[in-house]
């Protein structure tokens, strides 16, 4: 697995074709319906750090930083995080 981003959403997937499947499943609509382009997505270098803030009942409490390779190894295929929420 690898980590991919469009600078808003970040997902763990096998390749760009899989990214599209993950994103469409998350949002419940197709790239075509939304006018999205797979060209907006790219693989995150395996040594690049990614910090994710964890949401708790009290708000944004903590954050965790791992490299893209570490996130890909830790998380299952699917949506990882977003800058939007």
DSSP letters for the chain: -EEEE-SSEEEEESSHHHHHHHHHHHHTS-HHHHT--GGG-EEPPTT-EEEEEEEETTEEEEEEEEEHHHHHHHSPSEEEEES--
pLDDT tens readout for residues 43-71 = 999 999 999 987 666 665 688 999 999 99
pTM above 0.75? yes
Q: How confident is the model at residue 85 (pLDDT cuts 50, 70, 90)?
A: low
Range of the domain at 10: 2-82
Given a cut of 90, whether residue 10 has pLDDT beyond it is yes
User: How many domains does the structure of the chain reveal?
Assistant: 1
């Amino acid at each position: 697995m690898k980590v991919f981003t469009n600078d808003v959403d970040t997902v763990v997937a096998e390749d760009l074709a899989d990214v599209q499947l993950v994103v469409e499943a998350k949002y419940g609509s197709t790239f075509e319906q939304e006018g999205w382009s797979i060209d907006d997505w790219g693989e995150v270098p395996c040594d690049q750090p990614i910090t994710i803030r964890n949401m708790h009942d009290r708000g944004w409490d903590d954050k965790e930083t791992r490299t893209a390779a570490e996130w890909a190894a830790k998380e299952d295929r699917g949506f990882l995080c977003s800058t939007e929420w």
